[in-house]
Structure 1
């Protein structure tokens, strides 16, 4: 109970503790979110080109507004020529 007694004695620490708790929880939540995404490379040994398997119909951003995917003809020609 020493921590809570300290907060009751020094009430100016309450906003600091609240902000730090909020920031730490958001940082850990984002870290867990990032590892659940399929396009985050954690292991480079198995899949060296993971960007080839990304589905363009699934949004890859945190917030997607009016995203429309259209293939670029020049890139498609280059991809066909190099394979």
Structure 2
């Protein structure tokens, strides 16, 4: 007996199937979105400092309004001194 036949036989399962399908689709799409972002750390052992790989010219927020990036001179001095 297929899934659609079972749903047609037991119509009370239709809302449950819709809710579960929506939840799985949402979780899958969020996982794909999270793997594409550079500021999400999945494996810290291979890349212990992932913030070094973030492109400062690319906005990391969903919506960015009037944001301009300028390097902070003190941080640049510290970065040069620690390398």
TM-score of the superposed pair, with normalisation by structure 2: 0.69
* 1:58 equivalenced with 2:55 (yes/no): no
Equivalences for 1:22-33 in 2 at 5 Å? Answer: 22-33=22-33
How many residues are matched?
80
CA distance, structure 1, for counterparts of residue 58 and residue 77 of structure 2: 24
Gaps of 5+ in 1: none
Gap change, CA 1:49 and 1:7, over 3 Å in 2: same
Q: Is the 8 A contact 1:39 1:50 kept in 2?
A: yes
Give the root-mean-square deviation of aligned CA atoms.
2.4
